[in-house]
Every structure is written in structure tokens, then in C-alpha cells.
Amino acid sequence: MSTENVRVRYAPSPTGYPHIGNIRTALFNWLFARHLGGKFIVRIEDTDQSRKVEGAVEQILESLRWLGLDWDEGPEAGGEYGPYFQSERLDLYKRYAQQLVDVGHAYRCYCSAERLAQMRTQMAERKESVRTYDRRCRDLSAQEQAGAESQGIVPVIRFKVPFEGETTFHDLIRGDISFANAELDDLVLLKSDGYPTYHLANIVDDHTMEVSHVMRADEWLSSTPRHVLLYAAFGWTPPLYAHLPMILGPDKSKLSKRHGATALLDYRDEGYLPEAIFNFLALLGWSLDDKTDVIGREDLVKHFSLERISRTAAIFDIKKLQWMNGFYIRQLNPAELAERALPCFEKQLPPQVKRPLDVGYVSQVVALQQERAKTLVEFPANSGFFFVDDVDYPVDLLLKGGMTRERARELLSASAARLDAVAPFDMARLEPPLRSLAEEVSVKTGDLFGLLRIAVTGRTAAPPLFQTMAVVGRDKCLRRIRSAIDRLSGPATP
RNA sequence: GCCCCCAUCGUCUAGCGGCCUAGGACGGCGGCCUUUCAAGCCGUUAACAGGGAUUCGAAUUCCCUUGGGGGCACCA
């Protein structure tokens, strides 16, 4: 197959928000298409009316957009092979299902959902090894069919799986895989509501959309023989398969809601950068070599290959993502970073802080917090003191290391006097007078600076003191220092 | 229960018969730097699931066991 004919698809069902695992599948498909210059298609598999979730399609598209996974065909983009919503292709599936009935590869089944459910329960209770549909309707006579129809029973269409033999297919990642046909059941192709099942719709669409490679999660591996059989029944050539290793939660089970934040957009909301997620996800199940862990999208597109996809399921480790996100944050210049963190500031800073925020000021703040943050939301969370008028904190914080209230007051007063004379109020001019003060009154610089840090920021951990004071500004610094002195003069805390 | 897949440090992984006394990264731990917290730098911790077989030689090939995962819907 020539590479320009590579057509791959991401085919999510709108039954919820795409999580990390779904998106990793999309990412690999995208990388594969971009690497080979093929097409990346998005197809919405909305064939389950009962499970569809409002807004899910938009979440799916938004997830792709946020990561920068652009699609050549699909919703919004259109394309020659549309429509790209399966719910708009029902006639096609009906036609093909009927075609299979006509040639004897499929049949109408009148069994009720209740009977089927009961049958399954019984088989499980008896611990039977084969727990598939008993094929009661497989060879119904014309009279029996007519009888069922006259009772108003709406049938489903089932595929006739051979009783014997083996179905073998080649997986690009796992090699040849065989299943005994006897293990398979007569799966439903068309449901009684007229909608196709995944199996039928998937095959019909992949074929009619000329999909060349099916890259999907490992959980589909056991359905693949059914799909291969279906292709054969239609007389079509199946696509090439590549089953991707699953992404598991910390408890090693399939990723789901109960693992906490798994939806991709949750990570956006928690302040992760798309480039960090992109990089991290690409390395979950794929590697370039024995040492590369920071790798950008262009290099990923350049080097991506099926051969280097691992066969082992991967556990999603948030710690490494956090490190990587911090790394990408540190790569940004302050102006870019400020721009990207601005929405977090607008949203999280206390309401009394006047909006809109001054981007230039935010940029200065962000520059001081940059090497301390792992996520964007940490910026506003740790930077409130740069924006509010007054800071609040337990007065005891001013008395660390056995310092007396008297002593603390003296130091603060002396500091205020020195600071008052500093002009302009910048980092270079702030440091010398305070250092000499510490020396003159024989206090360790760490103790003096720590005291001032509490007074000015209300926190024990903050960016370097002089830079912080310079950004906070003379007026606020002095006011806060005087406020600290007042606190120390007040009644002793119980 | 049956079928399929998988199996290297806690985690992500490199390794595709000799380069492996198994490499990198995250995490952890220790140290340096230092006005706090970080960042950075240095060091350290820790793995080939077990057993057979093939071979001069096995993390790498084969078999079995064990373990883990996935599937067994008118859900995808």
C-alpha cells in the first residue's frame, strides 16, 4: 500500500467525555497519519441511543482541538466519505445487513431480550464454558418467521458465524492471532430499533471510507475475528490491524471514572499544558529510544512508527506527567506563560482583586513563580499576595525560631526604615541595606529575610524575597510590614 | 468458567542471542547550591515472575506454571 493511501480514523462514541486512554488512541492514529502523509478521519459512532450523552461530541472535538490533533475528514471538516456520524448512515447499514440476509450469511432473530438475559444468567450459573447465543433462530422456517412477525415481534439481524474452523488474522503489533470459530457467537448486526451494532457499522464504515489501518485499543482484539469474518462475508478485504496496549489506572484495571480525573479536559482545567500531555501520552506505549523523554510534536511526527509501539499495558503515572508539565512550563518565556496562565488568574484570584488583570503585572508575577509550578493553576493559588491589598496569617509565623515579639518588632521597624530610603524600589537596591542591617544587629540573614517574607507575603514559602518585594511594590511592602508590627503589638495570642 | 493478549526497577521504558556485572526517565533517598520554597547539579536506591528446553552463550528463542489485563450485550 502506498503511503498516500493511508487512511486511519478515530471513532469514538459520544457516551461520555474522552479520557486519557481514548485520546492516546486518537494521538497514535494522528501521529501515524501525519508521519506517513495519510488522512486522519474522525467518525462519531453514535449508534446507541440509550447511552448518548449531551455535549459529548463537542467534548470529543474540543479534546482533539486542545491537543492539536486536526482531522482531515469528519465533523465540521466534512469530506467525500461522509456523513461522519453513524446515526446519519442508517440506510447504508440496513442495506448491507439485508444483503447478508439475502445471501444467507445472516438471519432474523426473534428472541426477546428477556430470554437472552435469562439464558446468559443460566449459563453463568452453570459455569458453562461457552456463553454465547444459542442460535435458536438461525434456521427458522418461513412459517416460524411469519408466525413471529404476526405477533408483532421486531427482529434483529444476526450474523451466521461458522460452527467450525478457525479465524486467523495478522496484527501489526502482536503478530498472527487465531480464534476458534466455535468460541464466537452469532452476533447482532442490526438492532430492533433499526440502528446497527458497533460491529456492523464499524465494518461498513471502515470499508466504505477506505480506512487502511485500524488502530484501536486492545480491548477490541477479541472482537476482531468477528470483524474479519464479516469482511469475508461481504467479500471485502479487511484493513490492517494494530491493537494498542491499554492504559490502566493505578489499580491496574481499565481506566474509568472511578480513577478520578481521567477526562482529558480535566487535565486542561487542572493546568496541564497540551504540549506536555501530548509528549507524555505519546510515550505511554511508544518510545523513540533508550533515553528520549522530552520530545516535541514535530519530532514525534517525524519518528513515529508502529514498530516501536509496546505490547504491554501501561499504568498512568501522574507523577511523571507533573514533572513533565513543570518542565514545559519552565521552557516558556514569561510573556507566553502569563498569557496562558491568565485565565487561571482571572478565575481563581479572590473576587476583590480588580479585573481585568494587568497582563504586564501578571507576567512579572509568573516569572517569579515559574520554576516553582508544576501546573498552571498553582500560579494564582500561590500568588494571591501579589494582588490583594493586605495579607493575613497567624501572628505566630512571625515568631519562628524563638524570636521574641519585641525583637521581631525591632527588626521590622528597622527594616521599614531602611526600605523607606530605597529608591527605586528594585531588587538590586533592596538587598544591600537589608543585608547590612542583619549584620549590624547580629541576626542571621535567613532569620531576617524569613521574618520579612512572612510580613510581606504571609507565607513561609515564596519566591526570593527581594524580587518579590520589588514586584509587590514599596507602598504595599511598607504597609504590610507596619501591619505586622501592629499584630505583634496586639494582645498575645492564646 | 471459557477464549485472547501480556510479563525488565514502585511507574514509563531501552534491550530484538554475545556490546548487560541490564541503560535512561519519573518517583524515593542523600548531598551540593541557597534568605524560604522550588529549580539546577551530583550521587544513590530498585527489575529481567518461576521452572524446564534450545545454544558454546539467553532478559532476548520454545514449552509449562504462575501472575496481570481484556473479552464473552439488541454497549461501544
What pLDDT, in 10s, does the model give residues A349-400? 999 999 999 999 999 999 999 999 999 999 999 999 999 999 999 999 998 8
User: Could you tell me the strand order of the sheet in which A7-10 lies?
Assistant: A39-42, A7-10, A213-217, A240-244, A166-171, A175-180
Instruction: For residue range A453-494, list pLDDT tens digits in order.
Output: 999 999 999 999 999 999 999 999 999 999 999 998 876 554
The SS3 assignment for A337 reads: helix
Cα–Cα distances in angstroms (integers) from residue A224 to residues A102, A174, A183, in the given order = 24, 13, 13
Q: What spatial distance separates the first Cα and last Cα of chain A, rounded to whole Å?
A: 80
Tell me phi and psi for residue A40, to 5 degrees: -115, 120
Whether A222 CB is under 7 Å from strand B: yes
Complex ipTM: 0.96
Q: Look at residue A3 in the predicted model and tell me its pLDDT.
A: 61
Q: For strand B, which residues in window 76-115 of chain A come within 7 Å by CB? A: 111-113
Report pLDDT digits (tens) over A174-193. Answer: 999 999 999 999 999 999 99
Any idea which residue has 433462530 for its cell?
A137
Predicted confidence at residue A2, as pLDDT, reads: 56
* CA A325 to centroid of chain Cα atoms: 13
Sign of the dihedral through C-alpha A332, A336, A338, A342:
negative
For residue A202, which of A220, A175, A218 has the smallest C-alpha distance? A220
Q: Measured from the CB, is A483 under 7 Å from any atom of strand B?
A: no
CA distance A48 to A229: 23
Q: Which nucleotide is nearest to A371 (CA to C1')?
A: B39
| CA A438/CA A454 separation, integer angstroms | 16
pLDDT attached to residue A256: 77
**pLDDT tens figures, A5-25:** 999 999 999 998 999 999 999
C-alpha dihedral (A139, A207, A22, A221), degrees to nearest 10:
50
**pLDDT band at A4; cut points 50, 70, 90:** low
Nucleotide with the nearest C1' to A44 CA: B76
| Beta-bridge mates of residue A286 | A309
Please give the C-alpha separations between residue A406 and each of A156, A410, A439, A481, in angstroms, as whole numbers: 87, 6, 19, 14
Q: Determine the protein residue whose CA lies at the shortest distance from the C1' of B36.
A: A461
State the residue for C-alpha cell 440509550.
A50
pLDDT at A93: 98
pLDDT value of position A494: 41
By C-alpha to C1' distance, B68 is nearest to A252
pTM for the model stands at 0.94
Question: Is the CB of A305 within 7 Å of strand B?
Answer: no
**Which residues in 428-467 of chain A line strand B, with CB less than 7 A from it?**
431, 445-446, 449-450, 453, 460-466
* Rg, C-alpha atoms of chain A: 32
pLDDT in tens, A17-74: 999 999 999 999 999 999 999 999 999 999 999 999 999 999 999 999 999 999 999 9
Check whether residue A56 has its CB closer than 7 Å to nucleic acid strand B.
no
Q: Which of A276, A301, A275, A272 has its CA nearest to residue A288?
A: A301
CA distance A281 to A255: 14
Determine contact, residues A416/A478, Cβ cutoff 8 Å: yes
How many percent of chain A have pLDDT more than 70? 98
pLDDT in tens, A415-452: 999 999 888 999 999 999 999 999 999 999 999 999 99
Distance A276 CA to B35 C1' (A): 32
Q: How many CA atoms lie within 13 A of A295 on its CB side?
A: 20
Which three-class secondary structure state does DSSP give residue A127?
Answer: coil
Chain B: nucleotides below 7 Å from protein CB are: 1-8, 10-16, 23-27, 35-40, 68-76
Q: Kind of pairing, strands A7-10 and A39-42?
A: parallel
Q: Would you place residue A198 in the very low, low, confident or very high pLDDT band (cuts 50, 70, 90)?
A: very high
A106-109, strands of its sheet edge to edge? A106-109, A156-159, A188-190
Indicate which residues of A carry an active-site annotation: 257
Smallest CA–C1' separation from A184, nucleotide: B72
Those residues with Cβ within 8 angstroms of residue A54's Cβ, 6 or more apart along the chain or in another chain: none
List the grid coordinates of A269.
Answer: 482545567
Where residue A252 falls among pLDDT bands split at 50, 70, 90? confident
The A 176-195 residues near strand B by Cβ under 7 Å are 177-180, 183, 185, 187-188, 191-193, 195
